């Protein structure tokens, strides 16, 4: 017969679990908090007692004792885009693994007032730390002035004064994409960048320019999109109607997909007539036709490094001030050698 506490009795407490498992209160606490100094056998016995009694951790009591909410506040914008949404997922997974919850609030607009109000909302709910996803210039300018009184980490390759940050080296990614096309023999390489006020878009453009300059090549045509496949399609139509470029570096995979559609409508075959590189390595990019060569960002690693930086700050340690994660080229069949002649119809 089991000893589950009925609905008419008080809920089980840690002492009940200790008595059931035949261990001390401190041992139960170590198991609950994933302390390493617990044997596998003891951990199994305690976890079985927890399950049988239906014990739930008293989070409110723990917060009163530690004066911590065990929650991170996240400020984000444009969460519908692949990059920001997967950054949030990486943070969520890493925070949960460390025993923290994540409270995310999306900005209704990118303005100093909206950012400050969102930060104040988080602080009013006593978050232990703040994470600001900062892909745009206005967000960076605002957080440079903040003094929240809790650890704050910005997500992005931002280089902001006095702000801890972790981000993917976007300029390196742009360089890798362009260098790959140069190594394939392409000399007229166009770029379709994201919105001009996005720091990632600016950095990827700088990488494109740097790779071309190092090879002694002039930049090809430059067009601006909004990260959407539609904007890539419109830019691709304009580009292919008026340029003899043999390769395109698109600022993300969605815009690359739009360029592919524009190329198809002009009866251009990839990579025989045109090579295309994207950025992000979104899950769908391997199923484009042809599969897309792209730059991979490790969002899971970004989340882990962000949370590690926050935990160092909470613990009073002296954390790294800025971390850059290196991107990688994912080689697929949308790129190939420069064609002898471009077919136009």
Q: Domain ranges for the chain, please list them.
A: 14-57, 67-169+298-326, 170-297
| Beta strands 222-224 and 152-155, pairing class | unpaired
The pTM for the full model equals: 0.77
CB atoms under 10 Å from CB of 180, counted, come to: 20
pLDDT level of residue 65 (50, 70, 90 thresholds)? very low
Residue 40 has pLDDT above 90, yes or no: no
Residue with tokens 């190329």: 263
Average pLDDT of the chain is 86
Rounded distance between C-alpha atoms, residue 170 and residue 284, angstroms: 21
Q: Average the pLDDT over each of 2-16, 132-146, 320-334 and give the range with the smallest value.
A: 2-16
- Residue 112 CB partners (closer than 8 Å, separation 6+): 138, 141, 142
For residue 282, is pLDDT > 90? Answer: yes
Which residues pair with residue 296 across a beta bridge?
A: 280, 328
DSSP structure class, residue 270? T
Please state the rounded mean pLDDT for residues 9-22.
83
Beta sheet of 322-325, edge-to-edge order: 101-106, 71-76, 129-133, 152-155, 164-168, 322-325
Q: What is the pLDDT of residue 254?
A: 97
Domain 14-57, classified CATH 3.40.50.620, yes or no = no
Q: Is the pLDDT of residue 25 over 50?
A: yes
pLDDT tens string 194-249: 999 899 999 999 999 999 999 999 999 999 999 999 999 999 999 999 888 999 99
Q: What is the average pLDDT across 39-67?
A: 73
DSSP code for 293: B
| Topology alike, domains 67-169+298-326 and 170-297 | yes
pLDDT tens digits, 253-271: 999 999 999 999 999 999 9
> What's the pLDDT at 21?
92
With a cut of 50, say whether residue 96 has pLDDT above it. yes
User: Is domain 67-169+298-326 annotated with CATH 3.40.50.300?
Assistant: no
Cβ proximity of 334 and 271 under 8 Å: yes
Q: Is 239 exposed, middle or buried (0-12, 13-18, 19+ CB in 10 A)?
A: buried
Please provide the CATH number assigned to the domain covering 170-297.
3.40.50.2300
């Amino acid at each position: 017969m089991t000893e589950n506490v009925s609905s008419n009795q008080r809920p089980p407490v840690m002492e009940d679990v200790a008595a059931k498992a035949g261990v001390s209160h401190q041992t139960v606490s170590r198991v609950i908090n994933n302390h390493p100094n617990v044997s596998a056998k003891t951990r199994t016995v305690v976890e079985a007692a927890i399950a049988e009694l239906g014990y739930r951790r008293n989070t409110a009591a723990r917060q009163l004792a530690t004066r911590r909410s065990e929650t991170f506040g996240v400020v984000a914008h444009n969460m519908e885009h692949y990059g920001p949404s997967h950054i949030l997922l990486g943070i969520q997974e890493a925070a949960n693994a460390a025993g923290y919850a994540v409270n995310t609030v999306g900005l209704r607009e990118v303005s100093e007032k909206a950012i400050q109000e969102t930060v104040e909302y988080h602080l009013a709910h006593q978050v232990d730390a703040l994470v600001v996803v900062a892909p745009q210039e206005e967000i960076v300018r605002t957080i440079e002035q903040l003094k929240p009184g809790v650890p704050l980490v910005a997500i992005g390759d931002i280089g902001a004064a006095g702000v801890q940050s972790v981000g993917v080296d976007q300029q390196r990614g742009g360089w890798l994409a362009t260098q790959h096309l140069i190594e394939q023999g392409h000399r007229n390489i166009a770029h379709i960048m994201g919105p001009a006020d996005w720091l990632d878009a600016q950095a990827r453009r700088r990488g494109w320019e740097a790779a071309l300059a190092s090879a002694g090549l002039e930049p090809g045509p430059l067009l601006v999109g909004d990260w959407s496949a539609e904007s890539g399609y419109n830019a691709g139509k304009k580009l292919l109607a008026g340029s003899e470029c043999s390769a395109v570096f698109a600022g993300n995979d969605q815009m690359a997909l739009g360029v592919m559609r524009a190329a198809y409508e002009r009866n251009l075959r990839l990579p025989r007539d045109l090579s295309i590189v994207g950025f992000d390595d979104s899950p769908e990019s391997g199923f484009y036709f042809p599969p897309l060569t792209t730059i991979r960002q490790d969002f899971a690693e970004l989340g882990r490094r962000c949370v590690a930086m926050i935990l160092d700050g909470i613990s009073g340690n002296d954390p790294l001030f800025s971390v850059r994660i290196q991107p990688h080229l994912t080689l697929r069949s949308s790129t190939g050698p420069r064609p002898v002649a471009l077919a136009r119809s």
